Structure 1
Amino acid sequence: MFSLQLHSTHRIILALRLSYLLVFISSLPNSHSYPSRTHITIYASCSQEKYQPNTPFEINLNNFLSSVATSSSEVTYDTFSIGNGTSTTQDGAVYGLYQCRGDLHPIDCSKCIGRSVNQISLVCPYSLGASLQLQGCYVRYEHSGDFLGKLDTSIRYKKCSKDVSSDVEFFRRRDDVLEDLQTANGFRVSSSGLVQGFAQCLGDLSVSDCSTCLVDAVGKLKSLCGSAAAADVFLGQCYARYWASGYYDESDSHNNDQVGKSVAIIVGVFGGLAVLVVLLSICKKAAG
């Protein structure tokens, strides 16, 4: 009898903890309270190749994600190679990196990376390679380390505003901003009149490769988005963005966070089912 009560008490505590988790998830800061909307999802990319559960790769991947979450509270960029020390673990090796936007405070960087770490396995389940770009941070891992330090200017994401401008002054200011951004070494913010922008390279690029990447990104902004009042282009290892002051509003950002909404739904459903299963188990034991 005592054993039954102990198990029931344990299940009640577990149910309460799961309920608390759901409440916590539902209370995560929205774009009105989270600095610079860093939690908004830009894009996700998942490899077609999958790994099997309970394999060395999964163990190393979990270690990588844990290391990323810990490191982000101290530095805004880092690279990792886990499980590549011996030939016996080579098949399970994980290579990866993370980077926060250059203007983020370490606390906000850590929050952003924590959100990415929680999302990437849900967005890309059992993928041998994945990348997730949020407004404020980026996480990527692969089975091979060939991508580290290698220039990649392929387009990962672009967005051109529907609003366009025919103002000659706007184009002059925009071009001033873009010219400044393409000379950045790492992260740079620029403004001219009512036009603002920023650009960033991944930390594993050399100065010359960073310049090459940003020149390409700026060129694509102009060629792909033309007279757009705001535009974003994310390449494999850098990005550049500009906008007319006040263009990016809250509703526009919410419409773009489709991956984030999907993850919230997945977590909510599984969390609700877990609580239901525990409660049903308690009722069954009590009835018995």
Structure 2
Amino acid sequence: MLCFLYIITTLLSLTQHHQQAFSTPTFVYAGCSPSKFQENTQYQTNLNSLFSSIATTASHATYNSFTTGTDSPPGNTVYGLYQCRGDLDTSSCASCIQNAVAELSLVCSDAFSASLQLDSCFVRYSNNNFLGQNDTTLAYRRCSTKTSNDGEFLRKRDDVLAILQNGNGFRVTSSGSVQGYAQCIGDLAASDCTTCLAEAVSQLRNSCGSAKAADVYLAQCYAQYWASGYYFHAPAEYSGDDIGRTVAIIVGVLAGLALFVVFISFFKRDR
């Protein structure tokens, strides 16, 4: 029953959308490697140790990276990091990271490499050392289905994007009715952060056109903008990449299986 309640709680958190700052963090995307590790192996032990370190450290720092275990035998070292949105305090950060680790363990169970983005924090780990490596690979992109060709909106949108792409670390800005923020991974050099954000902003313009709200997450940075009063609309208002829909399907199946197991257990008990 406890397992069932946990899965249902997780499902509800995944089906919510962007909420106001500091509310319950909501799911954005997850990526899981197809290769899986075996249970009760050294890699699993090292991964559990990494998750423990992440959960502990998040209570007093909003970013950190880790290397857990030794590469003997080869392939057992786990590299990982977490990061919270720059306007979160350590208490909110720790809460978000706990949710992220729990959901990552559920969605990407036994994956050698995985990442999960909530709207307020991010967790990533791998058996390959990605720490400090420049990477502008697209992780997730979402554009609202509603658009606006109003000249004033487009000018304000471009003002916001210009400020975001020249930022470093975490930046929040607004122009008229348009707001936005952007952030780079904590260990990224200032010049590399600018390069990453320039790519993210370019994708916002080129791929999302005149969308009233859009998010682009690259491997080491993200940028978002939205028109006031619009950003918190329902998920159906967005056209996202397939991974978001795939994860929703996976979690839905898990919840369905949980319901089935509970039904069978009650059926057997009644007999």
Q: Name the TM tier (shorter chain).
A: 0.7 to 0.9
Contact in 2 for aligned 1:113/1:137 (Cα 8 Å): yes
How many angstroms does 1:272 deviate by?
7.6
How many angstroms does 1:235 deviate by?
0.8
Return the alpha-carbon distance in structure 1 between the equivalents of residues 237 and 90 of structure 2. 24
- The answer to whether the aligner puts 1:41 opposite 2:27 as a matched pair is yes
1:129 equivalent among 109, 113, 128: 113
What TM-score do the two structures reach when normalised by structure 2?
0.84
SS in 1 for 2:75: helix
Q: How does 1:250-265 map to 2 (within 5 A)?
A: 250-252=233-235, 259=247, 262-263=250-251
1:100 matched residue in structure 2 = 84
SS in 2 for 1:64: helix
Contact in 2 for aligned 1:40/1:260 (Cα 8 Å): no
Return the alpha-carbon distance in structure 1 between the equivalents of residues 236 and 87 of structure 2. 19
2:102 equivalent among 102, 112, 118: 118
One-letter identity of the residue aligned with 1:266: L
1:205 matched residue in structure 2 = 188
Return the alpha-carbon distance in structure 1 between the equivalents of residues 131 and 39 of structure 2. 26
- The answer to whether the aligner puts 1:234 opposite 2:217 as a matched pair is yes
The verdict on how the C-alpha distance between 1:32 and 1:143 changes in structure 2, with shifts beyond 3 A counting, is: closer
How many angstroms does 1:27 deviate by?
6.2
The verdict on how the C-alpha distance between 1:134 and 1:32 changes in structure 2, with shifts beyond 3 A counting, is: closer
- The answer to whether the aligner puts 1:65 opposite 2:48 as a matched pair is no
How many angstroms does 1:279 deviate by?
10
SS in 2 for 1:91: coil
What TM-score do the two structures reach when normalised by structure 1?
0.79
Return the alpha-carbon distance in structure 2 between the equivalents of residues 65 and 194 of structure 1. 40
Q: How does 1:1-288 map to 2 (within 5 A)?
A: 18-19=1-2, 22-23=4-5, 36=21, 39-84=25-70, 87-145=71-129, 147-252=130-235, 259=247, 262-263=250-251, 266=254, 269-270=257-258, 273=261
How many angstroms does 1:47 deviate by?
1.1
Return the alpha-carbon distance in structure 2 between the equivalents of residues 54 and 213 of structure 1. 38
Residues 10-69 of structure 1, C-alpha deviation per residue, up to 9 Å, x if partnerless? xxxxxxxx54x6557656886599753552211111112221111100110111111111
One-letter identity of the residue aligned with 1:185: N
Return the alpha-carbon distance in structure 2 between the equivalents of residues 124 and 206 of structure 1. 30
Residues 170-194 of structure 1, C-alpha deviation per residue, up to 9 Å, x if partnerless? 1111111111111111110000000
| Identity in percent | 46
The verdict on how the C-alpha distance between 1:125 and 1:254 changes in structure 2, with shifts beyond 3 A counting, is: farther
Q: Where in structure 2 are there 5+ consecutive unaligned residues?
A: none
C-alpha RMSD of the superposition: 3.0
